[in-house]
Amino acid sequence: MSKKVIPENIRKSIPETTPARSASRPIWLIVDSQTLGGIETHIQELATALKASHYETQVILWQDYGQTHPLIARLTARAVSVSVLDGKLSSLLRLAKHTRPLLIHTHGYKAGILCRLLKPFLSCPVVSTYHAGETCHGRLALYDMADRATACFANATFAVSHNIASRLSRPSIVLDNFINHLSQTASQGHQIAFVGRLSHEKGPDRFVELARRCPAFQFDCYGDGPLKTALAQNCPANLHFHGMQADMSDIWPNIGLLIMPSRHEGLPMAALEALSFGIPVIATAVGAMSRAIIHDHNGWLISPDEPENLHYWLNHWLTLPAEQRMHMRQQALRSVREQFSAEAVLPALLAQYSLVVNLTPAKLI
């Protein structure tokens, strides 16, 4: 039986007040992470938006994995405080006692499970966002099961798609991912690109096959992951692997079309980033992708079981007159501004924060 999902009508009851000064007690955003991905990009955007709204915000990385996490530089550039723990529960409890967070917002499996179970000792509310839409296997399947089962210990849970929310052990609120930076002009780039983790659920093998079917065009792949070696060994000459990028902001303007052939998704940040630069997206209709991509408006959606249709819609894009291409780029920019900007999404999240700390948004300071 599917779980009840709280309707997305909470925006109607959100007070229009905004905080006027910084909080003395920080909001924690905590994650266990080794590299950049969709969750880390979401945390960056959320921390930036909270700080811009005058909330003291601190990002907590659960453990130092031996190299400086690229998220640290991104957050430091935005004047967001970052703390790196040593992976010990005692360190988490000690830091919580010292900084007295107003609220802890978890992201990802480990941080979510640990903070929800430790909530009685953290002396503050714990809320969690669930991002992953894929079906996990092996050890990750155990993490996923524990992550969903312990959702009931959180003060509130959020999910980036209805499908993810329906799998949790408590009613959950569906909130969209969002983007702070909105380009004022649409990208004029020409690259046909894949941006994301090179793993089975993201479908990079489908991107490789698409490049193979279109030898007259150059294809560019940005990202890293467990399939990189196998894909690189069997890729066609017109496909270039660029690897993991510490910062995509200078690369997006070179991209003209994003291909997202995923088998499973939540609401991918890469799609929103592309749209924010006026880049249309061809994607499989999985997870909440249909919320971001409106077919024949700012991109095209295909069935996840019919990846061969990627070729059809790619040819359609390549043969569109210049004025129609520009129109789709403008539609891409408009769709992010209206639905996936911080201004559109953050008030709903702040309203939920205020509920769990029993304060109105104006007093959440």
pLDDT of residue 362: 47
Q: Is the dihedral of CA 163, 168, 171, 175 positive or negative?
A: negative
Q: 49-107: per-residue pLDDT in tens? A: 999 999 999 999 999 998 899 999 999 999 999 999 999 999 999 999 999 999 999 99
Residue 278 included in any domain? yes
d(CA 39, CA 19): 26
In the chain, % of residues over pLDDT 70: 90
Mean per-residue pLDDT over the chain, rounded: 89
Q: 133-158: per-residue pLDDT in tens? A: 666 667 777 888 899 999 999 999 99
Does 334 lie in the same domain as 227? yes
Both tokens of 16, joined, read 């229009």
Does 227 lie in the same domain as 170? no
Does 124 lie in the same domain as 33? yes
pLDDT of residue 133: 66
Q: 238-267: per-residue pLDDT in tens? A: 999 999 998 898 999 999 999 999 999 988
Neighbours of 311 (CB within 10 A): 15
Q: 265-290: per-residue pLDDT in tens? A: 988 999 999 999 999 999 999 988 99
Query: Which parts of 100-167 are beta strand (E)?
Result: 103-107, 126-130, 156-159
Residue 70 included in any domain? yes
Query: In terms of residue numbers, what domain contains 91?
Result: 5-178+342-363
Q: 212-231: per-residue pLDDT in tens? A: 999 999 999 999 999 999 99
Q: 308-356: per-residue pLDDT in tens? A: 999 999 999 999 999 999 999 999 999 999 999 999 999 999 999 999 9
Does 154 lie in the same domain as 16? yes
| 14 vs 45, higher pLDDT | 45
Does 218 lie in the same domain as 164? no
pLDDT of residue 232: 93
What CATH number does the domain containing 311 carry?
3.40.50.2000
pLDDT of residue 9: 36
Lowest mean pLDDT among 13-17, 31-35, 112-116, 291-295: 13-17
Q: How many domains does the chain have?
A: 2
Query: Which parts of 210-357 are beta strand (E)?
Result: 219-222, 239-243, 255-260, 281-284, 299-302
Residue 183 included in any domain? no
pLDDT of residue 92: 97
DSSP of 27-94: EEEEE--SS--HHHHHHHHHHHHHHHTT--EEEEESB--SS--HHHHHHHHTT-EEEE-BS-HHHHHH
Rounded to an integer, the average pLDDT of 184-213 is: 93
